[in-house]
Structure 1
Amino acid sequence: MHDICHLDSDWFVNALATFLIIGLVVSYCPQHLRIIQIGSSEGFSPWFLLLGSTSSAAGMLNMIALSWHTIQCCNDLSVGKCLEITAGVTQVVLQWVLFTTILVLYMIYYPARLKYVDIDIPAHGTLPPQHVKTKLLSDDWRLSVNVSWAVTIHLVLITIITFFVLSTRIQEPGGEVPHQISLWATFLGVSSALLAAIQYAPQLSRTYHSKLVGALSIPMMIIQSPGAFVMSISIALRPGTNWTSWAMYAVSGIMQSALLAMCIAWKFRQRRLKIDDFGYSLDSSSSTPLTDDIDTVVGEVSDPQVGDMSFDSNAEDAREDVPLLAKPSRSARSSRFFGWLRL
């Protein structure tokens, strides 16, 4: 305990940790601001957000469990020294907070036009069919709500188990990490790395099939792709950590680099076709997508009792002249913060 609490200052490790903490905030800001500014989170895969949130949560608690002795040193040290020796923990906690914020913004700014199933009612004569909104939730929105609850339940569960293991630990002779903590931390680290390995698969699939960037932020990925490898090195240099603590960030860096390359390729394609990130023409006011490859994400009607469905006569019809990213009113935005909790 004494050696851990009174380690000599390493200017390189401290400078690297400070750089990464600032870099994390700077790298996530473009994505957060992009979703808020365009008022839409279209283009994200709910599975990507589920896997990323659970992976970062497991990685965070892995670091906390392995660094618990170091964290306890703050009771006897100055604030500056405490921040120095717990910089690795700060990095992973910040990583989890910033990524989970994307999930929160995804739910708040989920396009209202995609929350419910639309049907076409044939019109008489040569008139075009009418688009009518139903009260049936789309499969994608239902999945998004379930993902949010799954992330919350997972976080609560592993947090309770982690602090239970820490509170009942049996100290090993020689100051080694207690066996039960080592086993639990290994489970968290391995599960975090496995989740990170498959985290980008659904997002890569959605982005590949849509052939559009959507609400994804290329500047964020440009900063984070190499930053993930630097963060792996920074965590590996921290006392008390092992390969399970940094493996998740190395795997994430590789997968995110692949997503970045795909988004850059689609950017060039969009420029060639003169369409925006959501597939709409830049040369006209038409709101009809110009590409046939767009993932509509409206989903199938999940209620088999189609005959019993009721229509909302006051809902705005999804006409062809309705803008894709209509800016919601201030009151509508404020109601989104808790409205997504209800099905």
Structure 2
Amino acid sequence: MAFGLYLHIPYCLAKCRYCDFYSRRASRGVPEEYVAALERAIAGFYARESLPPPNTVYFGGGTPSLLSPAQAARLLAAAAPAPGAEVTLEANPETVNEKKLEGFLRAGVNRLSLGVQTARNESLLRLGRPHTAAQSRAALAAAKAAGFANISGDIMLALPHYSQAEFRETLELLQQGGAAHISAYLLKLEPGTAFGRTPPEGLPTDDQAAEFYLAAVERLEQAGYAQYEISNFARPGFEGRHNLIYWNCGDYLGLGPAAHSCLGGRRFYFPSSTGAFLAGTAAPVPDGGCGAEDFIILQLRLTTGLSLPALKEKYNMEFTQKQLQFVEKCVSAGYARFNGHTLRLTPAGLIIQNSILCGLLG
């Protein structure tokens, strides 16, 4: 079974208006004391939990590209990933250049996840993104020149005043930039964010957002990016291995403030306090376990779907007659496919996955 390590880098140049991830503003990169705190946490957990070398390492944030290549190398030396491990670093376009990316590649990073979001500057400005479309193009070109073969691009759908033309321009930017993987997310107004407090004008309706999503799935498929999860699309062989550990209910360790973990079915997380993490006083908070419902929820995010024999084998759970009848209703409505063994949601079903789960598990 694959094991993944997530390292949270909570520093950002600015807070985007839609973002509800834990982060702190920083203008001079990642403090050395934070890197040292992560090194101590890695060593401590590896010793206590007798963890194997991770098959994936993921630098998430925040803005992990504020790390220096030397800092990334230190953290990877501490992590000691297994041979052939996927090592992903999230990056903002305005924080990287060819020289820095060459340094990350030498440090052991072999997958770059670039936060492009959109190819239109007016949308980037509205989102509070600190980069331009030209900087996204330059960052993609720099990544290719530096030697990255595995490049992912994050984009957002259904933005204020969104159009199919904006999506086409964004997809073209990523295709020309050599992206082998695309994560496409619908804009959500999260409580506590700037957009949550003051929603922007020009937001699509829920039905319009669904239309943008379904059109994006179709267009990405035509462009050679096969959907393998609700929001993730890849050319063959470039699926994100780290997130697949999450969705397949594998073991992963998350280190840093607000980072979550699941080891041996036991969930826990660190408090959202950089100060406490730096001081070494941030004790992990228990968060229950990973059971049959978690497995169902996560497997139905994937286009491979939920295997009922696997559900029986792992958790000794079988669908009731009522649940099977609900599945048949979903199939009749075009939201799912079911062959008696595997339940898969269609794109139309994936976009209303929460509603389907309520009907299936409620």
Fold in common (TM above 0.5): no
Structure with the greater relative contact order (CA < 8 A, sep ≥ 6): 1 or 2?
1
| Higher strand proportion | 2
TM-score computed with the length of structure 2 as normaliser: 0.22
| Higher helix proportion | 1
Bigger radius of gyration among the two:
1
